[in-house]
A and B are shown apart, each in its own frame.
Chain A
Amino acid sequence: MLINYALGILFLPLLSFIILILVGKRLPRQGDWVAIGSVLITLILSLAMFGSMLLSHDPGFSHEASIEWMDLGAFRIELGFLIDNITIVMLLVVALISTMTHVFSIKYMAGDIRYSRYYAYLGLFTFSMNGIVLANNLFSLYIFWELVGVSSYLLIGHWFEKDSAADAGKKAFLTNRVGDIGFFIGVMLIFTALGTFNYGEIFQGVAQGDMAGTLLTLAGIGLFMGAIGKSSQFPLHIWLPDAMEGPTPVSALMHAATMVAAGVFLTVRLFPIFTPEALLFIAYVGGFTAIFAATIAITQNDIKKVLAYSTVSQLGYMILAVGTGAYIAGFFHLVTHAMFKACLFYGSGSVIHAMHHALHNKHDHDTDPQDMRNMGGFKSKMPVTYWTMVVAALAISGVPLFSGFLSKDAILAGTLAFGTHHPQHFLLPIFGFGAALITAFYMFRLIFMTFHNEPKLPELYDDINESPKEMTFPLVLLSTLSVFIFYTLPYFNPLSDHGWFMELVKAKDSMVPGNPSAHEIAEGIHHSHTLTMILSTLVAALGIFLSWSVYLKKRISADAWAEKLTPYYNLSLNKYFFDENYDKYLYQPLLRLADRISFIDWELYDKYFINGFGHVTKWLSFLTGRTDYDGLDQTIVDGLGRSMSKAGSTLKEVQTGRLQNYMLFALFGVVIIVIFQSF
């Protein structure tokens, strides 16, 4: 039965995609009801699966089903589902965020020229992500992995008339390619060593020691490179902020549930095969990304860019958790983060929507509706958006009573435990706590700049209105889901993450010898839990307080500090000049190399070899043509035709058309026969 549900969840969005892409424009309301209906059924099915998971209350539940796709002798490929508690929780998150995105988009995208195609692509996106979540082997995973890449490309470039949107789509796709090459190498290394794509069989093979040491480390790092690309970790983080060119609901979907979650989900799924070295690499990449992206987010003025870098930073957290072994904490953060980050994005979408309308009424097309320096004082105008965003900001900052506190706490505890266990890696907890401090700071910077203070553009202020119900409903629902209680039921303790989630989603032991067991990791987390809780609450409070004094009370002047720290400020504002440096040291040399190679190709190879070959062929065929045409055709072929034609015109004379002639011939014939007969 679960398999049937899973089939429905996987294929309904695909069905909606096919219907909308074929006949979407001819349906009433451009067919948005098809997409919304299908994703709603998906949500109901996910809820049913979720309910059955809660009822059966079996942490070890796992169900696998597969069909053989092709059997090439040594190379057997299966397509299949692996349904365990991680899958079920993730399916619910994807379905929920996707449904909210569909609902939010009704008003946000109203009047868009490609409204129906937009909904079609949302369906494709949901389908691909569900495929990643459900896959039971690396091969199916890879297919859906690329499908996610394609659909993100289509959605980021939705407004492809704008060059920046088209470029952002390309950038996302190409940057992901870099990671995917690593991913592909990882998959192939595992297949060559173990001869299978299936997760279970891979785990077994690794546990038996069929693949170990450097090879396994390399495979792990290769697979993780896929996650670096998809989950936009340092140094491939550059595409995610540009992806803000897509419609805001798409950003919410992409940042919360579908695209970037894929990388984290992959590392969570494959955690048991990572060697200690690979895990250390993962932890450092994640930790560094967490703090690095946070320092960029501080200085950004575009409301969506702040959120984009905050996503990069939070994804770094999750990756850090996987690297330190507390991977269930990472997955927990993925789930809670999905709710409050989607809420923040819808909130920013609501603000941008309001700004856009106000600017439109004033016929002002030059002012940037996403720049926070043009906002301020929206609190009383948009109360629903304000309060839901405050809840989400509290959750992401890790304030007690909210979901983010629980998951962030679990990650930081894991990091701290790792740091105490291996004092030489003291940087990891510093990255973690530092990022937590900065996160709280810039999130409240966003809230204060947008909703508090005096309006920066008073002439717009009267035109700012709260968004319609279709847009505020997802905000309210998701901010409600950012409260701790939904993750700790049936227990009611805001300071402990003990609840259904931690009971049902259990960490697996690593299959690699030398890694601590799940139990040891849990022990370590337990020991550092209290210290982490105090520290993280302090850090969050400090961040919010700093932000409050800088941006609300103005006791500390942000400009003065920016002045004092000009070099650092410029670095952060310009995102550490990553795009520029990539351009200078990577793209330009590559382009020059491509130029050289194309010179060899065009000027040498093509000119002498290809064209020479062409000349010889041309000359040969000229000879053959002459022989054929003048020799054979003229004599044999035409001669035969001519003789036939001659014979025909001679014999034609016999056919006089006179009945009596024929009859006379017949008579002669009879006479001749009679004469012959009589002898």
Chain B
Amino acid sequence: MSEQVHTIGDPIIKCINVNKWFGDFHVLKDINMEVGEREVVVVIGPSGSGKSTLIRCINRLEEHQEGDIIVDGILLTNDVTNISAIRKETGMVFQQFNLFPHLTVMENITLAQLHVRRRPKQEAEKNALRLLERVGIPDQAKKYPGQLSGGQHQRVAIARALAMNPKIMLFDEPTSALDPEMIKEVLDVMKELARSGMTMIVVTHEMGFAREVADRVIFMDGGRIVEVGTPEHFFENPQHERTKLFLSQIL
């Protein structure tokens, strides 16, 4: 287990009795969860367990029907102002990267800086170059996404999210669509990010990453949080039968 270099602060995300339905299908059931500042939380679970839906609710890409979600002190409601305020503070990285194919890497990273953060163009571009350096691809700024590899795609997507200077980063299975060789380069960036003290919620199947980086691991099944624990406890000494079954199947 790696040593945590950061200290965990006060809760920045709170989910209180969150329930969500897709039509008649009950996706999230009574979710109660807190994530502290600078904490890295890894969410694991079988597919269809509601992991992705949970983190998509946090930046309101999905709407929950019952309960409260409070992000950075703001209660998520239908108020447009609140939603945009929360999205400014929450970066998100998708499984399918979702880079904008008609814009260059540089434009992908500066777009929201210019039009949401309203930064001057020069500052935004300087920021973008700095971030590209941080994710290890400073020479790709002028290319279009179509000219990049999958791993580079995801690193650009991380840089794009970071460019908004978010307080929280949400990762929705960031390595699931990558070739095995490319997974490492993305995970390295994420590890570096975690060490720098970013608040992160990561939905992933990378158990190695969870062991190494996570402060806490959340196991979900059937829309419920089944078990929460530090990686040591979680992986060495799972409590719930479902957790044991899941871990026995994937490890």
Q: Are A and B part of the same complex?
A: no
